[in-house]
Amino acid sequence: MSHAATDLTRVKPPAATSHSRRRADIQGLRAIAVVLVVLNHVFLWPSGGFLGVDVFYVISGFLITGLLLREVEQSGSISFRGFYARRIRRILPAAVIVLVVTVMVAALLWFPLRSLQTVIDAFWSLVFMSNWHFEAAGSDYFATDARSPLLHYWSLAVEEQFYAVWPLVILAVVLVAHRIGVKRLRIAIGVTVALLTLASLAWAGWRAGSGLDGGYFDSVARAWELLAGAAIAVIGTSRLRERARRAISLAGLALVAVSALLIHETWGVPFPWVIPAVLGVALVIWADAPASPRGILGNPISQWLGDVSYSLYLWHFPVIVFATSVLGNSVWVQLGSLAAMLALAACSFRWIEQPFQRGPLLRRASKLRNARPIVPRDLAVGAVAVVAVALLTVVTVRGPGGLHDSSSIANRFPGDSRQVAAETVAQREADLTHAVTNDVWPDSLSNPSAWRQSLAVDGGDCMNDVSRAPGVWCGDPAEADVIVVGDSVAMSWLSAVRAALTDDGADVAGIGFAGCQLAMGLEYSHPAFGSEFPRTCATVQRELIAEIAAHEPDTLVLIGHPAALQRLDLPLSEASVKWQAAYETMLREFSGISRVVVLESNPWDRDFPECLVRTDSPDGCITQLDEWHLAKADAERAATQTASNSVYVQTRDWFCADRGCPSVVDDTVVTTDGLHLSAPGSATVDHLLDEALARAGVGNPAVP
């Protein structure tokens, strides 16, 4: 092993790849990256501003791989302790401070439902697994939709997961190259980079075609971007004439700019539409053109922004989320947010980043060492890092829901979460009227026990993805008297239907497919599920309708998303006509069922739970029935009038008073996310649903 170290130290890196000098163009690229991200998050412009993260990845891959190559060429090995010590000094201090401050501010501003969620997000951010955490939360259709102030930490997680593995890969290549007698170490590493890049691109392409988020948070689907920078570190920077290098650099900047202006987040991200921007950044780095003090990259403002780019990235999103949560989203709030995040970034860079970079903490371990043999300890430290990443990834993606959902933490607090159902429509109307006129939050909302069992969990067990048809049922459909079917909204109603009919001895079964409401013959899109969703959902609908018709339950209950008409991508009037026709066709398929009940959905509060702010009033959590909700209700009501066995049940009076539809009624949070009924919210309408179903010829009315 010592012989390997001696051989490798003879390999001299190309002079152009030395990173000991400060490259002003890279600092300028950092400035462009953070400005793109901040502008996109504050002003929603440019549409492709999120590509700033990809710019950071290429820069990082270039710099860190160059450092690792120099260490290998100088010492014949890689000190994993030294490498991770440098990463800790660079990444952790500012990241931890921002996490602590964010959790504290969230506790001051928000009620437990959201502040506890921030604690969970902070934990996963601290262990650099937030990308998988947010992907898991996003794939849970009942998860809260409010933006986490720590959502941006996903990109740090991707980067650190890559660097938990990358040094070990390089060291493995060193060992194999020596064992088989390869003299040109950089060629061996270059081939490895190329193969891994192709593998990552292939995975990213598969994720892009698989629906859902297209692999946006996926570390493997993002690895090729860091490897693009690594490739430049391996091959070395350009040795062309200065004029040619300047031209190449400008061409690269143009690719980044055009991509940022044209690309939209709904396109294929990270594959394939991130590729031009990544190539552009790689060209700028490879060109290594001098950055003029009066140019885009070399001017003093760009250089300063490059210096504080890490701190600015960390602070910008909490500032935006907290400011808009309390003050709204006016131009003045946006400008004030910019000023606040710049001030915090400057302070963080001056008093957190620089002291830790220059201080004694872990400095001895982080120094590059002279030539020495590769020892088992090196491999052991690297292996531990890889195993830790693998285990945390599995726990994050496949672990218990309590690691992602704030309601599970709230369930640990003592308290009585039972709710008293409204006995009559008149009582419910009085509760709603009080809710829309009350200007003070109920005291109970400050108690974590008020959020216990916040999710209507009965429906969660039979919530399916359309790509995994035929799906899992709650209950046995072959034995059921009543079947509840639809999308995730329908499954959040399953508890209420069961509670309403259990006393009558009815056996209730249910099944739902995320985003896929029954509407015969219609293909409609869903922004969260990719391009294949319309076709797959239509197939699921046909199969499910045939299955239900074959079971012939006594009663079928249908319900779905109140804004489903919008997903037809048609004008309101045309969408309404098509929806009614689809429902009429579907109801004819159910002619053998004694009673088909179509329930009006509860209203959708698009601002919930972001509206739950201690410093605001409950008015912010009052929504209105929009035209899409009303048009869908009218279309379904008209369709039921064409089928003698069908009836439409209007539920809006259970959720809305004259002034609107409150999200908190009689100390009860009606929904988990503004759309799906919470368990307590479901319990408050049990009696009303029982009465309505009895009038529709289903079951017997409850006796107070």
User: For residue range 3-32, what is the model confidence (pLDDT) as tens digits?
Assistant: 333 333 333 344 444 445 789 999 999 999
In this structure, what DSSP letter does residue 11 have? P
Is 167 or 374 the better-scoring residue by pLDDT? Answer: 167
- Least confident residue range of 47-56, 147-156, 416-425: 416-425
Residue 361 binned pLDDT confidence (cut-offs 50, 70, 90): low
Q: pTM value?
A: 0.85
- Least confident residue range of 249-253, 400-404, 689-693: 400-404
The encoded tokens of residue 566 equal 């919008």
The encoded tokens of residue 410 equal 């709230």
Query: Based on the structure, what is the number of domains in the chain?
Result: 2
- Nearest Cα residue to 133 out of 217, 226, 225, 54: 217
According to the model, what pLDDT value does residue 5 have?
A: 36
Residues 396 and 489 in one domain: no
Residues 378 and 500 in one domain: no
Q: What is the mean pLDDT of residues 382-401?
A: 58
Residues 180 and 243 in one domain: yes
What 3-state class would DSSP assign to 28? helix
Query: For residue 253, what are the CA distances in angstroms to 72, 256, 305?
Result: 32, 5, 17
Residue 637 binned pLDDT confidence (cut-offs 50, 70, 90): very high
Q: What is the mean pLDDT of residues 448-453?
A: 56
According to the model, what pLDDT value does residue 13 have?
A: 42
First to last CA, the chain: 84
User: For residue range 184-233, what is the model confidence (pLDDT) as tens digits?
Assistant: 889 999 999 999 999 999 999 998 877 556 689 999 999 999 999 999 99
User: For residue range 100-139, what is the model confidence (pLDDT) as tens digits?
Assistant: 999 999 999 998 878 988 999 999 999 999 999 998 877 4
According to the model, what pLDDT value does residue 49 have?
A: 96
- Least confident residue range of 7-11, 229-233, 306-310, 541-545: 7-11
Tell me the three-class secondary structure of 495-543, residue by residue. Answer: HHHHHHHHCCCCCEEEEEECCCCCCCCCCCCCCCCCCCHHHHHHHHHHH
Residues 400 and 496 in one domain: no
According to the model, what pLDDT value does residue 483 have?
A: 96
Residues 400 and 528 in one domain: no
Cβ–Cβ < 8 Å for 685, 614: no
User: Sign of dihedral through CA atoms 141, 664, 651, 594?
Assistant: positive
Residues 251 and 356 in one domain: yes
The encoded tokens of residue 78 equal 């890689």
Residue 270: CB atoms within 10 Å: 28
Residues 382 and 459 in one domain: no
| Inside any domain, residue 302 | yes
According to the model, what pLDDT value does residue 385 have?
A: 58
For residue 30, count CB atoms less than 10 angstroms from its CB and return exposed for 0-12, middle for 13-18, buried for 19 or more.
Answer: buried
| Inside any domain, residue 150 | yes
CA distance 448 to 460: 22
| Inside any domain, residue 223 | yes
What 3-state class would DSSP assign to 368? coil
**What does the angle CA 487 – CA 498 – CA 136 come to, to the nearest 5 degrees?**
40
The CATH code of the domain that includes 586 is 3.40.50.1110
* Mean pLDDT over each residue of the chain, to the nearest integer: 86
| Inside any domain, residue 437 | no
Q: Got the DSSP string for 644-694?
A: TTEEEE--GGGT-BTTBEESEETTEE-BSSSSSBPHHHHHTTHHHHHHHHH
Residues 353 and 467 in one domain: no
Residues 395 and 462 in one domain: no
Q: What is the mean pLDDT of residues 610-614?
A: 88
CA distance 279 to 229: 10
According to the model, what pLDDT value does residue 214 have?
A: 67
- CA 424, distance to chain mean position in Å, is 40
Contacts of 337 (CB under 8 A, 6+ apart): 42, 319, 320, 323, 324
Residues 353 and 490 in one domain: no
Residue 635 has pLDDT above 50, yes or no: yes
User: For residue range 486-512, what is the model confidence (pLDDT) as tens digits?
Assistant: 999 999 999 999 998 877 788 999 999
Residue 398 binned pLDDT confidence (cut-offs 50, 70, 90): low
Residues 117 and 198 in one domain: yes
| Inside any domain, residue 416 | no
Is 73 or 253 the better-scoring residue by pLDDT? Answer: 253
CA distance 166 to 61: 10
Is 147 or 94 the better-scoring residue by pLDDT? Answer: 94
| Inside any domain, residue 439 | no
The domain of 233 spans 2-405
CA distance 317 to 101: 13
According to the model, what pLDDT value does residue 2 have?
A: 36
> Strand 555-559 vs strand 482-486: parallel, antiparallel, or unpaired?
parallel
Residues 108 and 221 in one domain: yes
Of the residues 376, 405, 434, the one at which a domain ends:
405
Of the residues 390, 405, 420, the one at which a domain ends:
405
Residue 95 has pLDDT above 80, yes or no: yes
Residue 403 has pLDDT above 90, yes or no: no
According to the model, what pLDDT value does residue 384 have?
A: 63
- Least confident residue range of 15-24, 399-408, 525-534: 399-408
> Strand 622-623 vs strand 661-662: parallel, antiparallel, or unpaired?
antiparallel
Q: Between helices 300-327 and 331-348, what is the axis angle to 10°?
A: 130
According to the model, what pLDDT value does residue 232 have?
A: 98
User: For residue range 47-90, what is the model confidence (pLDDT) as tens digits?
Assistant: 999 999 999 999 999 999 999 999 998 888 888 888 999 999 99
| Inside any domain, residue 427 | no
According to the model, what pLDDT value does residue 17 have?
A: 43
Of the residues 381, 405, 429, the one at which a domain ends:
405
Percent of the chain scored above 90 by pLDDT? 59
For residue 658, count CB atoms less than 10 angstroms from its CB and return exposed for 0-12, middle for 13-18, buried for 19 or more.
Answer: exposed
Percent of the chain scored above 70 by pLDDT? 83
| Inside any domain, residue 566 | yes
- The per-type count for the chain, helices as H runs and strands as E runs, is 25, 10
